[in-house]
Amino acid sequence: MEMKSSAEYGSAGSKLYVRETQCPYCSVQCKMTVEEVAGPIAGERRAMYTVEGVPNEASQGRLCVKGMNAHQHALSGQRLLKPLIRRNGELVPCSWPEAIQLITKRFASLRDRHGADTIGVYGGGSLTNETAYLLGKFARVALGTRYIDYNGRFCMSAAASAGSKVFGMDRGLTFRLSDIPRAQCIVLAGTNVAECQPTLLPYFNQAKENGAYIIVIDPRKTATAAIADLHLQVKPGMDALLANIMLKIIMEAGLVNEQFIGARTHGYEQLQNALSEIDLEEAAVQCGVDLSLIRQAAMAYGQAETGMIMTARGVEQQTDGHLAVRHFLNLVLATGKIGKPGCGYGAITGQGNGQGGREHGQKADQLPGYRSIENEQDRAYVAAVWGVEPESLPGKGVSAYEMMERVHDQEIRSLLVMGSNPVVSNPNVRLVEEGLRKLEFLVVADMFLSETAKMADVVLPVTAYLENEGTLTNLEGRVLLREQGRPAPGEARHDWDILCSIADGLGKAPYFQYGCAEDIFNELRMASRGGIADYYGMTYERLRREKGIYWPCSSLEDTGEGLLFVERFAHDDGKAAFTSELSPGWQDVSREFPLILTNGRVLPHYLTGVQTHRSPTLEARELENFVELHPAAAARNRIMDGEWVEIQSVHGSFNVRARIKENIREDTLFVPMHWGGIQNVNRATRPDLDPYCRMPGFKTAAVTIRPMRLAR
């Protein structure tokens, strides 16, 4: 593997000077420089760094506190620098050849004894497109297993499947970020942009300055709700119904766009019939929102000349997440607010490569370019690119949580985890932990000894965002090249390089011959060519020069599409599909478990916190987990501000500190997801999945709460 010499990293001699990199965290993918301004002082380990935003189309030079401090984890003394292997119950350092030999021996033996499907692969949305692509190829070609899925199942699956069904294509935003200020009405449903994509907030403020009316739908008055003209404090899990109410009001007010509906959609009549059954008053009570407020929202969106609807995990991480998104898309289609400037739908993607990560084959049913592993033509095309027989490609596997169920049932006996911390981030983690303990062989590739890595038989140290090269696709569908900024520390290796070594050990070297990430990208271009997510027209050289290109991009001359669906949708007939199937809702609370537990994020931490807990500046902002609860709920449950509480569902319990706040509904508790162990909210989330996309119902669980001082 070739590394640049240190001199090329900047003019500051041995000091760290990364001319341009990209934030490793969220989907905006802000560009930045990192510079060491003072080296470690004798006797002290600390050095000082400045981080500056570099203008790119999305972030326009802004950074949030996470991006500004991301280098702290990458440069942390806790980085894994050597492979680790379990001996006599302890993880101890070993050499790379030893680690790779053991992995290939165990994988080969499992495959030969029990079949390739006893080995599972579990990826992540932080991986570059190159690694995500290679992981999919590795599972199908090197291992021959059907079992591969990734953490994006918990993130993007509801919106992705809804977009595919309704539009025939799934891309986070159907518009450019720069179109946001042109919208006259913006609906932000279950998305807390202010904390989760902070550098996007100025786009919304700009829209506000231009006179836009902003509606936020969230059970809490979040920092995002603070910029809204109207806040609908919906009961968790009721978004699908809320969207139906809004549409029925719009229909009754005659604000639908008949011309658009006739020319560009189908299924409207069935939808009208379905909605006729909804009683507005009753439905509003079920949603926990005054009908007059919903009416105000519906009229504002319906009457506006231009408008956008955006959803994120609040709407999507539900057992009806797929339908909930489709019902918001009904609103978009019925008013014809798509395919023109200032209009459209956006699923705000989550992880740095939440978008690209779902396009190139780490999903159970997918091949690169958004091709389907169940479609004969798609299989034949990709098999030809890979130089294998189509019949040799396995069929589709199962979703991330279902893989964990199969691990628990010992149908899957070995797992390779790359870029995820599933023992913290899965729902119902008690089952996941039990399952992982039963594995015969667990391999984890990570920068740190995460909670999952601690359980592994082999841990492989990987390079961080400053050290590897590759492309990532931001929430707009814009592909960005992140260049290598510094050499790998210790013996850390690139994810893709590790996959090639294991493939080599399994006798599949001829299919895994790459000298650098760019070689993999060039193969990805071919594999995605002609697919929905077509990257064929992009090259590293173009990405460098043009600073990012939207997909689809089918030729070297193609400049990519920023604004989608201007003339036609991506289905064969060019039309978009309305949805008339109403949501069954969720099981709701009970007398025994009377409160609704929802969850999500806070500004300074990222996902399971493996990275941000290792950044002193970020960690100092939130040291421990907490539950946000309303004063009335606190009083009813005899809870004082700041005290430790236990929250329990039928699936399990966890302990956190109480934070009493007026900003949340009385019937709802909110707990961040950034802590593992006893503070992990996922000890109480439920295993139920959306039947369409297998998204877990993270955002609703029926629970009780009580102070620890009253614990039995």
Ligand X SMILES: Nc1nc2c(c(=O)[nH]1)N[C@H]1C(S)=C(S)[C@@H](COP(=O)(O)OP(=O)(O)OC[C@H]3O[C@@H](n4cnc5c(=O)[nH]c(N)nc54)[C@H](O)[C@@H]3O)O[C@H]1N2
The binding site for ligand SF4 (CB under 6 A) comprises 23, 25-26, 28-30, 59, 63-64, 66-67, 197-199
Tokens of 3: 């590394």
Q: How far is the CB of 243 from ligand X (least distance, A)?
A: 10
CB of 342 to ligand X, least distance (A): 22
Q: What are phi and psi of 271, to 5 degrees?
A: -65, -45
Residue 446 touches which of ligand X, Mo ion, ligand SF4, none (Cβ within 5-8 Å per kind): ligand X
Stretch that binds Mo ion, among 154-162, 175-183, 225-233, 275-283 (CB under 5 A): 154-162
Least distance CB 611 / ligand SF4 (angstroms): 11
Indicate which single residue of 130, 218, 457, 690 sits in contact with ligand X (rule: CB under 6 A): 218
Which H/E stretch holds residue 313? helix 313-316
Candidates 7-15, 538-546, 635-643, 677-685: pick the segment binding ligand X (CB under 6 A). Answer: 677-685
Looking at the Cβ atoms of 84 and 382, the one nearer to ligand X is 84
Rounded Cα distance between 284 and 275, Å, is 14
Tokens representing 543 are 């990405």
Query: What is the rounded distance in angstroms from the CA atom of residue 538 to the CA atom of residue 540?
Result: 7
Query: What distance in Å separates the CA atoms of residue 101 and residue 64, rounded to the nearest whole number?
Result: 42
533 vs 581: CA distance, rounded Å: 28
Indicate which of ligand X, ligand SF4, Mo ion, none lies near residue 59 (CB less than 5 to 8 Å, by partner kind).
ligand SF4
Count Cβ atoms within 10 A of the Cβ of residue 661 and give its class: 0-12 exposed, 13-18 middle, 19 or more buried: middle
| Only segment of 541-549, 553-561, 644-652, 681-689 that touches ligand X (CB under 6 A) | 681-689
289 binds, among ligand SF4, Mo ion, ligand X, none (CB under 5 to 8 A by kind): none
Taking CB under 6 A as the criterion, the residue among 100, 312, 524, 563 binding ligand X is 312
Residue 219 binding target from ligand SF4, Mo ion, ligand X, none, CB below 5 to 8 Å by type: ligand X
Partner from Mo ion, ligand SF4, ligand X, none contacting 698, C-beta within 5 to 8 A by type? ligand X
HSE value, Cβ hemisphere, 13 Å, CA-based, for 268: 22
For ligand X, which is the closer residue by CB, 418 or 553? 418
Residue whose C-alpha is closest to residue 709's, from 653, 621, 646, 660: 646
- Work out which of 512, 606, 626, 654 binds ligand X, going by CB under 6 A: 606
Does residue 579 interact with ligand X by CB under 6 A?
A: no
Whichever of 163 and 350 has its CB closer to Mo ion, that residue is: 350
Establish if 315 lies at the interface with Mo ion (CB under 5 A): no
**Which residue from 217, 222, 223 is spatially nearest to 327, judged by alpha carbons?**
217
**Residue 63's binding partner out of ligand SF4, ligand X, Mo ion, none, with CB under 5 to 8 Å set by partner kind:** ligand SF4
For ligand X, the binding residue among 49, 670, 675, 692 (CB under 6 A) is: 670
* Dist CA 539 CA 361 (whole Å): 20
Phi/psi of residue 74, nearest 5 degrees: -65, -35
Q: Least distance to ligand X from the beta carbon of 178, Å?
A: 21
Query: In 317-469, where does DSSP find H-type helix?
Result: 321-334, 376-386, 400-408, 422-425, 429-438
In sequence order, the β-bridge partners of residue 344 are: 308
Interface with ligand X (CB under 6 A), residue total: 63
Q: Which of 314, 350, 477, 537 binds Mo ion (CB under 5 A)?
A: 350
CB of 224 to ligand SF4, least distance (A): 13
Q: Report whether 175 contacts 200 (CB < 8 A).
A: no
How far apart, in Å, are the Cα atoms of 158 and each of 122, 153, 172, 236, 693? Answer: 19, 8, 12, 16, 6
**Residue 317 touches which member of ligand SF4, ligand X, Mo ion, none, C-beta under 5-8 Å by kind:** ligand X
Residue 287 as a binder of Mo ion (CB under 5 A): the answer is: no
CA distances from 625 to 254, 602, 672, 684 (A): 48, 10, 7, 14
Tokens of 517: 């990430």
Q: From the list ligand X, ligand SF4, Mo ion, none, which binds 298 (C-beta under 5 to 8 Å, kind-based)?
A: none
Distance CA 612, CA 402 (A): 28
Query: Distance between alpha carbon 363 and the CA centroid of its chain, in Å?
Result: 13
Burial class from Cβ neighbours inside 10 Å (0-12, 13-18, 19+) for residue 529 reads middle
Nearest residue to the partner Mo ion, using Cβ: 350
Q: In what order do the strands lie in the sheet with 48-54?
A: 17-22, 31-38, 48-54
Rule CB under 6 A: choose which of 29, 59, 151, 366 binds ligand X: 151
Q: 667 is written with which tokens?
A: 């019937």
CB of 447 to ligand X, least distance (A): 5
Q: Is 353 in the site for ligand X (CB under 6 A)?
A: no
**Binding to ligand X in span 427-486, by CB under 6 A:** 445-448, 450, 462
CB of 704 to ligand SF4, least distance (A): 35
Which of residues 236 and 600 has its CB atom nearest to Mo ion in the complex?
600
34 or 256, CB closer to ligand X?
34
H-run or E-run covering 130: helix 129-137
Residue among 198 and 350 whose Cβ is closer to Mo ion: 350
Binding mask 227-256 for ligand X (x = CB under 6 A): -------x-xx-x-----------------
Structure tokens belonging to residue 670: 């909110």
What span, in angstroms and rounded, lies between the C-alpha atoms of 561 and 307? 20
- Locate 323 and state its tokens: 């339908």
Select the span of 258-266, 295-303, 380-388, 414-422 touching ligand X (CB under 6 A): 414-422
Q: Which two tokens stand for residue 131?
A: 């690694």
With 0-12 CB in 10 A as exposed, 13-18 as middle and 19+ as buried, what is 302? buried
**3-state SS, residue 635:** helix
Q: Is 685 in the site for ligand X (CB under 6 A)?
A: yes
Site for Mo ion contains 155 (CB under 5 A): yes
Q: Which stretch binds ligand X (CB under 6 A): 31-39, 49-57, 140-148, 309-317?
A: 309-317
599 is a contact residue toward ligand X (CB under 6 A): yes
User: What is the residue type of 292?
Assistant: S
Query: Shortest approach of Mo ion to residue 642 CB, angstroms?
Result: 30
CA dist 459 and 367 (Å) reads: 27
Binding residues for ligand X, rule: CB under 6 A, are 26, 124-127, 151, 154-155, 189-192, 195-197, 217-220, 222, 234, 236-237, 239, 312-315, 317, 350-351, 418-422, 424-425, 445-448, 450, 462, 495, 598-601, 603, 605-608, 610-611, 670, 673, 681-682, 685, 698-699
